[in-house]
Amino acid sequence: MKPLIIALALVLAAPLPASAHPRPPRDLRQLAEQTGVKIGSAVDIAALRAESDYRRVLNRQFNHVTAENAMKWESVEPQRGVFTWDDADTLVENARRNRQQVRGHTLVWHNQLPAWLTAGVEDGSIGATELRQILRDHITTQVRRYKGKIRAWDVVNEVVEEDGTMRQSIWLKHLGSGYIADAFRWAHRADPRAKLFINDYNLEWNAPKIETTLSLVKELQAQGVPIHGVGFQGHLGIQYDYPGDWANVMRRFADLGLEVAITELDVRMELPVTPEKLATQATYYSRAMTDCLSVRACRELTVWGFTDRHSWVPGWFDGEGAACLLDENLAPKPAYQALLTVKNPR
């Protein structure tokens, strides 16, 4: 063998220098770049406006954002026909300036509806025909306003109960189950390029909810309904076992041709905080990221707020909290570091 060929073979066979191997990501935005998984956070609009440190961390760390409340029905149409877009517009404009994509949350939900709507349905002044038109107008108006600016919409949110039955919301009671297909079709017409999701909690582990949601998706697909993804909210607690079959559940939906997203991840604990609890929390966050990375169709991991300063958890779960990646002072917790050290199999 010629000397030049031998030398070349030795060079190719030699291990790469340490500098040639990908370095661990320095922050969450670089983690997103390295893995191809969008890393997002729900956004508190008041904090975004008023707190420069909150705003700085949000815009440095995340390449995807969700309005925590600013796009919900009671926020955008508190009075019939009177729309208040300021908060939602603030989120979308901040995202544009900081190279962030946006998840729209949420078009149809049984919760946080404006009083004029629920009262009208309850007292009978809004009948089924009018209610359907109201729903159509709401979806069309909101999706059209942000056409081309929203990557994905949670079109219907939490439509399946814990026991696997369909939720008896005002929509199901007065419009029948067809409202779900209608909602997806209306949203698609308003913005044909947006990804359209069904989103739910406890879908990570609850067998009846999983089976019903799978059946619902298959039924929608059989009808030609434009549904593109499923969102796993991922509200976890360290006092409960981690949902160990989560990756396989993701695959079952991915096998239907759907995109998969973790849309509202947080990991709460019973207070007070201890180093041991923080260590356990870190494993839950890293396992969620690992599960997502193990499923090619998983394209997004969004946390439901990134700092304990503005977490929803203490207001809903008595004696629990500390659910986020950063503490009240925006100091990273072990969970933050755990995400950065997850091995990327992709």
Residue 276 a catalytic site member: no
* One-letter amino acid of 154: D
- Helix axes 178-190 and 207-222, enclosed angle (nearest 10): 60
Distance (Å, rounded) from C-alpha 68 to C-alpha 199? 14
DSSP code for 236: E
DSSP letter for each residue of 172-219: HHHH-THHHHHHHHHHHHH-TTSEEEEEESSTTT-HHHHHHHHHHHHH
- State the burial class of residue 203 (Cβ atoms within 10 Å of its Cβ: 0-12, 13-18, 19+): buried
**Which amino acid, residue 11?**
V
Give Rg (Cα) of the chain: 22
Residue 43 · residue 65 · CB < 8 Å = yes
By the 8 A CB rule, do 346 and 293 touch? Answer: yes
What is the C-alpha separation between 226 and 188, in angstroms, rounded?
7
Cβ(191)–Cβ(141) below 8 Å: no
Distance CA 256, CA 195 (A): 15
Catalytic residue among 264, 270, 276, 300: 264
Q: Tell me the C-alpha to C-alpha distance, in Å, between residue 199 and each of 218, 221, 319.
A: 15, 16, 27
**Residue 122 CB partners (closer than 8 Å, separation 6+):** none
Q: How many CA atoms lie within 13 A of 136 on its CB side?
A: 13
With CA atoms as reference, report the closest residue to 311 among 59, 38, 32, 47.
47
Task: List active site positions.
Answer: 264
